[in-house]
Amino acid sequence: MDRVASEMAVAAPPGVDPTAPLLLFDSGVGGLSVLAKVRALLPDAPVIYVADNAGLPYGDKNEAQIAARVSGLLGRMTERFRPRLVCIACNTASTIALASVREVLEVPIVGTVPAIKPAAAMTQTGVIGLLGTAATIRQGYVDRLEAEFAADKVLLRHGAPELVAAAERKLRGEHVDKDVYRRAAAALRTMPGGDRIDTVVLACTHFPLVAEELGEAFGSDVRFIDGSDGIARQIAFLTQGQGWQRQGDDIAMFTRDEPELARLKPALEAQRLLRSAIF
């Protein structure tokens, strides 16, 4: 287990109830990009997916607001649902609230961090772009990852809140103007050295959902990387040897009822989330 992975997870307790679910938490539908990778490794795992749509977007909130909200919600949810493991499938929430969440939860937690380490190994030009929320890109945690794993590289960061909204709209089947993706690409490309970017870190779980559109905007010479594969591997590692027993359909929970939620049904069902509810 590498250093980042070991920081983001703690060991699972023995004798886990086989019906105990995995709980994946995000501000919206971005965590579905993580759930897809978890499903590939743990197809029998019962899942509760929680989208805090009442708090969306997290990227324009301050650190105190995010830490308090995430800690409070996950505290109540773990008490109610008794999950075997919690995955904070949100870069913003993880980089800000992981420590405070661990103070209130007594279950294993896997967080999400920008994939700077693998990006540094991938780049050929030495120039890496990072797309995240405004809250994520300013975090000291990102500074530390850059210093440890990409000190000899150039890391260019851009906060792209429009991409969060674009991913949410895309999964609802709504039209998204392609200029949204062109603006994100241009913001990085026009920075000093930006013309040499060959690797882009998608530091928000929403962004892999629009990777195809971003690929068109950046061009074929750029590769994208995100942390979803590593997250799935960590969840599989921490639950190895545990039994799985699903008692009913997996469920998607939202923190606010909205008429638009009905439009998410195809995207949720594609990830085998066949029931929806409001928390």
Strand locations in 77-213, DSSP E? 85-88, 109-110, 127-132, 154-159, 199-202
**Catalytic residue flag (residue 90):** yes
The whole-angstrom separation of Cα 78 and Cα 85 is 9
Cis peptide before 266 (omega within 30 of 0): no
Q: DSSP character for 271? A: T
Q: Tell me if residue 131 falls in helix, strand or coil.
A: strand
The distance in angstroms from the start CA to the end CA of the chain is 35
The whole-angstrom separation of Cα 120 and Cα 151 is 9
Q: Tell me if residue 129 falls in helix, strand or coil.
A: strand
* Among 90, 97, 109, 163, the one annotated catalytic: 90
**Catalytic residue flag (residue 87):** no
Q: DSSP character for 190? A: T
The whole-angstrom separation of Cα 279 and Cα 275 is 13
* Among 163, 164, 203, 204, the one annotated catalytic: 204
Q: Which residues are tagged catalytic? A: 90, 204
